A and B are shown apart, each in its own frame.
Chain A
């Protein structure tokens, strides 16, 4: 991905360090850690903090497709991993707080009743409760062409690498949960056909609207909350101790997807776009109705049956994605209903 523009002292210092040589960066790294430690103390809303979320996004990106001009060896530089952990700790604490608020009082099955179907019931119940602001209804009925492009820009941060953060969990699972995740991911990656990968289908939708479909092309345009949504997945995918959370995340993601995607497709059809553009959404109506069953029962449910102690983390991942999605939806609708752009900066393609 192209190097993004820094958004404050942390991301600026981080990108400065990454421009140098790994392996002999002890001094610049200890300087970065001191700066991060000092600046973090003044951050009050880390989920909505542009500087921290962009820094985390870049640090995670080293584990995905990398950053242009940044040497690959940085990925496992111990001093840089420490910086990531300094940022992850308060981010995770804020996510746990937001997740508890989103989850409210939950009636969880106890001990011997912790079957996979009982776990799926809890997750389907959470997904049904998700009555937050509806971006999908707005997209279906009201969104202008410019707002449709903005919508794609926010989604592009994740959808152009769709499924990748959950793939990290595969070697951390076993048995039924592993087989379930592999089955879902094989479908996400097109069942062996590269042109049918969900990320490729999303790129096609972007091209259909004359937009840049290169991974990360619009990172500079999106606010912190859009980066936080992806950082949540990378946090839970890259840390083995959070393997329960990444399965809960995927389950809720799939369970809240089929109907919204039908409405998204309707919004693009309303503007005269044909199946070439709407295929991505139409595909998700069908695919996610399959995936939600497998993710709820076999993946999250199967994992909790095997490791009952992970139930709380499954619920954390599930309610964290609900909390972040509610904030992102509120931001989009507030912006659009007041006739404002939801992006940080004007982007030519969204004009």
Chain B
């Protein structure tokens, strides 16, 4: 493993989006750039955002959970 910090990072937010920070591009499957207005972005992972691929905070309304419920 390379011990140097990577150029980019993905923060896995509990019950929330993925925060992507650093040097990266967001593209469609055919490689076209997805419109992007900011350096650091939040990507939806609850599936309910109205502005996918970006997060719009809807995960809070649908009580999205990233951890399976304790049994």
Binding site for B on A (CB under 8 A): 117, 121, 124, 127-128, 183, 186-187, 191, 196, 258-259, 262, 283, 285-290, 292-294, 297
Residues of B within 8 A of A289 (CB): 17, 42, 54-57
- Please give the distance in Å from A283's CB to the nearest CB on chain B: 7
B26 interface contact, C-beta 8 A: no
Q: CA of A258 to CA of B55 in the docked complex: distance in angstroms?
A: 9
Known interface pairs A124-B60, A286-B56; A293-B13 also in contact (CB < 8 Å): yes
Instruction: Count residues on chain B whose CB falls below 8 Å from chain A CBs.
Output: 22
B9 interface contact, C-beta 8 A: no
Binding site for A on B (CB under 8 A): 11, 13-14, 16-17, 19, 21, 37-42, 50-51, 54-58, 60-61
Q: Assess whether A259 is in contact with B61, with CB atoms less than 8 Å apart.
A: yes
Known interface pairs A187-B38, A258-B57, A259-B57; A293-B16 also in contact (CB < 8 Å): yes
Residues of A within 8 A of B19 (CB): 290, 293-294
Q: Assess whether A286 is in contact with B11, with CB atoms less than 8 Å apart.
A: no
Residues of A within 8 A of B37 (CB): 196, 283, 286
Q: Assess whether B39 is in contact with A191, with CB atoms less than 8 Å apart.
A: yes
| A187-B40, A262-B50 given; 17 more Cβ-contact pairs under 8 Å | A121-B14, A124-B60, A183-B40, A191-B39, A258-B57, A259-B56, A262-B56, A286-B42, A286-B54, A289-B56, A290-B19, A290-B38, A290-B40, A290-B41, A292-B57, A293-B17, A297-B13
Partner pick for A259 among B11, B40, B58, CB 8 A cutoff = B58
Q: CA of A294 to CA of B55 in the docked complex: distance in angstroms?
A: 13
Q: For chain A, what secondary structure do more than half of its interface residues adopt (helix, strand, loop), or is it mixed? A: helix
Which residue on B lies nearest to A124, using beta carbons? B60
Q: Assess whether A258 is in contact with B56, with CB atoms less than 8 Å apart.
A: yes
- Please give the distance in Å from B40's CB to the nearest CB on chain A: 6
Q: Assess whether A187 is in contact with B42, with CB atoms less than 8 Å apart.
A: no
- Please give the distance in Å from B42's CB to the nearest CB on chain A: 4
Residues of B within 8 A of A186 (CB): 39
- Please give the distance in Å from B1's CB to the nearest CB on chain A: 24
Q: Assess whether B38 is in contact with A293, with CB atoms less than 8 Å apart.
A: no
- Please give the distance in Å from A152's CB to the nearest CB on chain B: 22
Q: CA of A258 to CA of B16 in the docked complex: distance in angstroms?
A: 14
Residues of B within 8 A of A294 (CB): 19, 40
- Please give the distance in Å from A270's CB to the nearest CB on chain B: 17
